[in-house]
Structure 1
Amino acid sequence: MLLFSFRSFLEVLIAYPFSNKLTVTPAFGNIRAFANLAVVLIPLSWLVLVNNPRVETKVLAWSVNLFWVWVLVLTEARSGLLSLGVGILWVAFKYGRPGRAAFVVFLSVLFTSLLIYIFVPVLSVDGWTRDVTSSSGRWELWSWSWVYFFDSFPFGIGGMMFAADGRLAHASPHNLLLTLMAEWGALVLVGGALFLVVLVKAFRSELSGRSVSVRVRIPVVWAVIAGVVNAQFSGAHIGSFSSIALILAFGAYFAVRIPASMSELPNKLKSNRLLLIVLVCLWAHASFLGYQLYGFSEESRASCAKESSGTLYPRVWVQGRLDCGGSGFGH
Structure 2
Amino acid sequence: MGKKQPVVVITGASSGIGRATALHFARRGADLVLAARREEALEGLIEECEAYGSRAFSVPTDTSDPEAVQEVAARAVEAYDRIDVWVNNAAVSFFAPFLEVPLKDFNRVIDVNVMGYVYGARVALQHMRSQGSGVLINVASIVGVVPQPYTSAYSMSKAAVRALGVSLRSELLLAKARKVHVCTVLPATIDTPFFNQAANYTGRRAQAMPPVYSPQKVAATIYKLVDSPRGEVVVGRIGRSMVRQHRFAPAKVEAAMAHQVDKTHLSKKQSAEATSGNLYEPSADRRDTAVTGGWSGRRRSVQRSLLGTAALATAGGVVLRRLRG
Structure with more helix by fraction: 1
TM norm structure 2: 0.29
TM norm structure 1: 0.29
Structure with more strand by fraction: 2
Greater relative contact order, per chain length (Cα 8 Å cut-off, separation 6+) = 1
